[in-house]
Chain A
Amino acid sequence: GAGVSQSPSNKVTEKGKDVELRCDPISGHTALYWYRQSLGQGLEFLIYFQGNSAPDKSGLPSDRFSAERTGGSVSTLTIQRTQQEDSAVYLCASSSIRLAGGYINEQFFGPGTRLTVL
């Protein structure tokens, strides 16, 4: 089946503009994650959605960052008033619910969106 998809694959924007990044998770996966991968910072967790629960926003670096997940499927990460330090690859991942045996399913990652803020 189809994996996690993200769009656009590349985005170049000017400082101060708003951007929206889209993630389509694997069908049926209830959990969705956003991570940011930047030079010198590695992979950082941003936000996590699980079903209908309130999202875990603990990783968002500032109030310029927000995300929503509509209908329990597609998610959009919005960055307002972009800054040069926002330049990074934004990765989305999805996973299915915790199994009855207590295991957590692994996360399946999309190819990422490379954001460049000029």
Chain B
Amino acid sequence: AQSVTQPDIHITVSEGASLELRCNYSYGATPYLFWYVQSPGQGLQLLLKYFSGDTLVQGIKGFEAEFKRSQSSFNLRKPSVHWSDAAEYFCAVGPSAGNMLTFGGGTRLMVKP
């Protein structure tokens, strides 16, 4: 069975500092990996995705993520965090039968001024 682990439930960083959110997955085949962001009261917005090819993928809002097969990881990074980045971030893996996504538990990011 596939699974996604986001080890950090909460992270607090200062505005302007760099950010790395961790994601580890378990999947029996080539994974399709996603990062979504959810602001309070909002749905999920796709930040970036990895299907194949270059293991460093660029997304919206200045985010990037690196796929490391040997570590079964897909960590999300941003060099300089803005106050508006405060939100909950979800890593997901797919597809499986039916193409639904399996999500990690989420990491809530707080940004200090």
Interface residues of A (CB under 8 A from B): 4, 31, 33, 35, 42-43, 45, 48, 50, 56, 58-59, 91, 93, 95, 98, 103-104, 106-112
Contact assessment for B43 and A110 in the assembled complex, using a CB-CB cutoff below 8 Å: yes
Can you report 11 residue pairs joining A to B where beta carbons are below 8 Å apart? A4-B43, A42-B105, A48-B98, A56-B97, A58-B97, A58-B98, A59-B100, A103-B32, A104-B51, A109-B45, A111-B43
B interface, size bucket: 20 to 34
**Interface of A (DSSP majority class):** strand
Does B87 interact with chain A (Cβ within 8 Å)? no
Which residues does chain A contribute within 8 Å of B49, judged by CB atoms? 106
- Please, which residues of chain A bring their CB within 8 A of the CB of B90? 43
Chain B interface (Cβ < 8 Å from any Cβ of A): 32, 34, 36, 41-46, 49, 51, 90, 92, 94-95, 97-106
Which residues of the other chain, B, contact A98 by a CB distance below 8 angstroms? Answer: 99
A4 to B42: give the CA distance in the assembly, Å. Answer: 12
Bound-complex Cα distance A104 to B68 (A): 20
- Also in contact, A109 and B44, with CB within 8 A (given A42-B105, A43-B90, A104-B32): yes
